[in-house]
């Protein structure tokens, strides 16, 4: 009678498979980190390691716990949205041991200029100075308290905040026009800009006061026929009033 016997070559192959399988498990056990695959295809322990990095910026909430006076002053000023550590630098060491480490106090001109030096790319309305013209060499805190930077004098000209517009208007035919010719602004706007926004012209007739055929303005000013020129569009939908000759 024939008895079934697993052929030798198959048995050897099976042993080989078994050894390989065991080796795989053992190698994986040794080399794959314990937390790998717990949350996904990565070491879950890495998340905790990253989260345990030391904190350097303590955060404004921490600063105001002790510095209540400055916080109150700043909280009612133009700098109300500004975090303490923007100017004073990372201060968590100071927060954990106030005596051992004092935060940086900028007293030179440079620090304020990061934000307030004139750059045409900055959004209009942001207060900017031209460093070389604005009280040269004088450190900013001599006139402005950084915790309440309201200028000692209200800005004399609109260009203090609207420098980009002032620059382009200066090379345009509208150079001789005062801003107030078109933008009626209450004095309040200079004190607290957002509480009283300046007005803007609302109709074609406003520009017509100078540019209409029968306007009582200088002869050299370009005239248009208000009734037909530009169809239904308002003047500033095509012409940039601060640079009307621009394309």
- Which of 50/227 has CB closer to other proteins? 50
Q: Which stretch binds other proteins (CB under 8 A): 38-46, 94-102, 139-147, 185-193?
A: 38-46
**Within 180-209, which residues bind other proteins (CB under 8 A)?**
none
Give, as one character, the DSSP assignment of residue 9. H
Whole-number Cα distances in Å, 147 to 73, 116, 144:
6, 15, 9
Of 12, 26, 20, 90, residue with least CA distance to 58: 90
Name which of residues 90 to 119 contact other proteins (CB under 8 A): 90, 113-115, 117-119
Return the number of the residue (79 or 190) whose C-beta is nearest other proteins.
79
Among residues 57, 119, 120, 54, which one has the least CA distance to residue 88? 57
> Quick one: 45 or 221, whose CB is closer to other proteins?
45
Q: Is the dihedral of CA 231, 237, 243, 245 positive or negative?
A: negative
Name the segment binding other proteins (CB under 8 A); options: 30-38, 67-75, 134-142, 179-187.
Answer: 30-38
CB nearer to other proteins: give 51 or 227: 51
In angstroms, the CA 235 to CA 216 distance is 19
Interface residue with other proteins among 65, 173, 221, 246 (CB under 8 A) is: 246
Burial of 118 (0-12, 13-18, 19+ CB in 10 A): buried
CB of 73 to other proteins, least distance (A): 17
- Minimum Å gap between C-beta 149 and other proteins is 12
Give the per-residue contact string, 52-91, with other proteins (x = CB under 8 A; - = no). xxxxxx-xx--------------------xxx-xx--xx-
Q: Which is nearer to other proteins, 108 or 180 (CB)?
A: 108
CA–CA separation, 112 and 218 (whole Å): 45
**Number of neighbours of residue 140 by Cβ within 10 angstroms:** 21
């Amino acid at each position: 009678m024939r008895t079934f016997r697993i052929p030798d070559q198959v048995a050897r192959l099976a042993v080989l498979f078994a050894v390989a399988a065991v080796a795989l498990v053992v190698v994986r056990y040794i080399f794959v980190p314990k937390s790998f695959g717990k949350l996904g295809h990565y070491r879950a322990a890495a998340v905790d390691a990253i989260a345990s990095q030391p904190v350097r910026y303590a955060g404004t909430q921490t600063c105001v716990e002790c510095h209540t006076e400055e916080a109150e002053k700043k909280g009612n000023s133009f700098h109300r949205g500004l975090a303490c550590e923007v100017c004073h630098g990372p201060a968590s060491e100071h927060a954990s041991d106030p005596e051992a480490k004092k935060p940086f106090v900028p007293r030179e001109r440079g620090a304020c200029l990061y934000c307030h030096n004139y750059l045409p790319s900055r959004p209009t309305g942001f207060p900017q100075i031209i460093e070389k013209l604005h009280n040269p060499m004088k450190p900013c805190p001599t006139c402005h308290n950084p915790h309440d930077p309201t200028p000692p004098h209200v800005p004399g000209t609109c260009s203090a905040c609207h420098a980009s517009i002032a620059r382009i208007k200066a090379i345009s035919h509208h150079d001789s026009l005062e801003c107030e010719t078109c933008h009626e602004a209450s004095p309040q706007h200079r004190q607290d800009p957002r509480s009283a926004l300046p007005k803007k012209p609302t109709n074609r007739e406003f520009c017509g006061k100078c540019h209409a055929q029968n306007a009582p303005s200088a002869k050299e000013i370009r005239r248009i026929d208000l009734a037909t020129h530009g169809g239904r569009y308002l003047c500033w939908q095509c012409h940039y009033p601060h640079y009307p000759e621009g394309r």
